[in-house]
Amino acid sequence: MTAQQARLLMLSDLMLLGVAVVWGTSYGVAKQALQHYPVLGLLALRFGLTFVLLSPTLAGLRGIPAASLARVAGAGVLLLGIFLCETFGLLLTRAANAAFLISLCVVLTPLIEWLLLSRRPTRLEWAAVLLSLCGAWILAADGAGSLSFHPGDALILLAALLRAIYVCAMKHSMGRQPPPALAVTALQAGVVSAGSVAVAMAVAFAGGAATWPLPPLPGFGAQGAFWLCLLYLVGACTLFAFFAQNYAIKRSSPTRVALLMGSEPAFGALFAWLWLGERIALSGWIGGGLIVLASLLATVRWQRAIAPVHDVPGVAERT
């Protein structure tokens, strides 16, 4: 390896670690934003702004068959369900719980792939499933100062399941000539934003309200923290993360990618502890650690640890 290759590898590792950090902290930041604005409004703003910023990339969808675009948009509806469950769940549980439990999607994906795409899980993947179940059980154990099982945890688990289904659905819908990834992200961000507004209007209509269902936007003064959170979610957790992972995963190995990205839940729990003041007992760290370990077992290609990576399932799908 030349000195230049070594520098590029170090840069890619730092970028992947940066993605893990910002994705891990996104739970705490989103939870703080929810103190100023409701779930549906936050989702509409976050993904609406993402859609606007990425809208120039929609030109890459020209020439894509209508059936393929319909499947991608349909997966966007599934993505809407993921973020509804994830964000409402985050409102009802601790950010540390959400960071650990959402990573179960990595372990659930082989099972969903078996059911939908007829690919039987390997022995190592079965071991990861069992290990993750043990971790989730320990994480849900109630005790003094421990990470107890909150009602929102069920929504986070449902979001993890839907995310696993989404990964398999996207793999099936891409076909032999997949559309540009940024264009897909822009299209699905638009679906999530419009869907959030539609859900808010449907709920308001069902309740007999005839006015705009979302409250006025927070101000830039006393509620300026909301806008900082929103900019962080859009800029760091979506735009930077997407660019960084596409740059880095083509220059690193599967083992390095899995190890760096698998640290996301740990950063999420650490940020919740430091920033939000959430108390995490030893049992919480043990249960969460087992889930992280299970994710690593499910993602690392142990037989080809030094092969170059061109596509890492479950990494590029997050927005």
Answer with the residue of higher pLDDT: 211 or 199.
Answer: 199
- The amino acid present at 211, given as its one-letter code, is T
What percentage of the chain exceeds 70 in pLDDT? Answer: 84
Structure tokens at 302: 């142990």
Residue 79 CA to residue 71 CA, distance in Å, equals 12
pLDDT above 90: percentage of residues in the chain: 30
Position 134 in a domain: yes
Q: Kindly state whether residue 310 falls inside one of the protein's structural domains.
A: no
pLDDT at 4 over 50: yes
Look at residue 317 and tell me if it is in a domain. Answer: no
Residue 144 pLDDT > 50 = no
For residue 316, is it within any domain?
no
How many domains does one find in the chain? Answer: 1
**Each residue's pLDDT tens digit, 84-105:** 999 999 999 889 888 888 888 8
In which band, very low, low, confident or very high, does the pLDDT at 193 lie, cut at 50, 70 and 90? very high
Residue 288: pLDDT over 50: yes
Alpha helices in 175-280 (DSSP H): 181-206, 224-234, 241-248, 254-261, 264-275
Residue 240, domain member (yes or no): yes
Q: What is the pLDDT of residue 131?
A: 85
Contact by Cβ (8 Å): 31, 300: no
Identify the CA nearest to 61 among candidates 214, 233, 177: 177
pLDDT at 52: 96
What is the predicted pLDDT for the residue at 40? 96
* 249 found inside a domain: yes
* Structural domain containing residue 50: 3-304
- What residues contact 110, with CB distance under 8 A and at least 6 apart? 119, 121, 122, 125, 128, 129, 298
pLDDT in tens, 247-269: 776 666 655 666 666 778 888 88
C-alpha angle 78-97-108 in degrees, rounded to nearest 5: 45
Buried b (16+ CB within 10 A) or exposed e, 269-308: bbbbbeeeebebeebbbebbbbbbebbbbbbbeeeeeeee
- Domain for residue 166, yes or no? yes
- Higher-pLDDT residue of 298 and 239 is 239
Does residue 214 form part of some domain? yes
Alpha carbon 82 to its chain centroid, in Å, reads: 9
Please report where in the chains the tokens 């320990």 appear, as a residue: 138
Statement: residue 287 has pLDDT above 70:
yes
